[in-house]
Amino acid sequence: MTTDASLAAIAALDDRIARLEQLLQASQLGLGDPPVSRIIHCNRGHGGLWYFWDGGNKVAIPVTAKSITGFIRSLDVEAGEYKGETTHSMRLALDCGQQNYVLSAGHKSLFARCIYLALGAMTAEQLRGPIAIAPKAGTDDEKVLLASVWAGTTFIKSDWTDDPVEIRESFMKALKTIQEVNSHG
């Protein structure tokens, strides 16, 4: 098969998958939850490793699952405010089928750095499939939260660094690869 024929076959398959996704979404008509992403806060500030925040009751609801598995849709850093100070949070959007989630952690936290380094080490092929992320308590400090990342059943081992230049390069590489994957490239 020629390259042009292969590309045409892939494009046709992409179209079929998109139509199937539309059919699946249409089957979720009726009463239910709004189609918004649930934010999972990834830090050890409320007695667990990660949690949902119930703003109405001002209470953390622990996430008891040991990992989350989904397709990465986006990675970005969002500016915000906390106690009158400007903050920056990593936001990793995951499509988990019936529900979308956003993992949120401090941009410079060890959890975020683990994510940046792991995603930066992954190939586009790995990022086309579902990934699993598990929070992991640090052993030296009771506030430290790390992240372990798998592509399928393959643990993504990345070289740890505190070098801000290397972390930024991993973040930028991850952004580029995620954008490539999600543009069907």
Q: What is the pLDDT of residue 7?
A: 77
Q: Three-state SS string across 41-60, please?
A: ECCCCCCCCCEEEECCCCEE
Transcribe 106-172 into DSSP letters.
ETTSHHHHHHHHHHHHS-HHHHHS-EEEEEEE-SS-TT-EEEEEEETTEE--------HHHHHHHHH
163: left (phi over 0), alpha (psi -120 to 50) or beta: beta
pLDDT digits (tens, 9 = 90+) for 12-47: 777 778 767 766 665 666 777 777 889 999 988 887
Backbone angles phi, psi at 49, to 5 degrees: -95, -35
Name, in order, each residue with C-beta under 8 angstroms of 71's C-beta and a sequence gap of 6 or more.
Answer: 94, 95, 96, 129, 130, 131
| Residue 1: band (very low, low, confident or very high) from pLDDT cuts 50, 70, 90 | low
On the question of pLDDT at 105 being above 70, the answer is yes
Q: What is the pLDDT of residue 63?
A: 94
Please count the structural domains in the chain. 1
On the question of pLDDT at 185 being above 60, the answer is no
Q: What is the pLDDT of residue 147?
A: 94
* Residue given tokens 């954008």 in the structure block: 179
Q: What is the pLDDT of residue 67?
A: 96
Parent domain of 72: 36-182
Residue 24 located in a structural domain? no
Residue 110 located in a structural domain? yes
Residue 107 located in a structural domain? yes
Calculate mean pLDDT across residues 173-181: 95
Residue 14 located in a structural domain? no
Of 116 and 160, the one with more pLDDT: 116
Q: What is the pLDDT of residue 71?
A: 95
pTM as predicted? 0.80
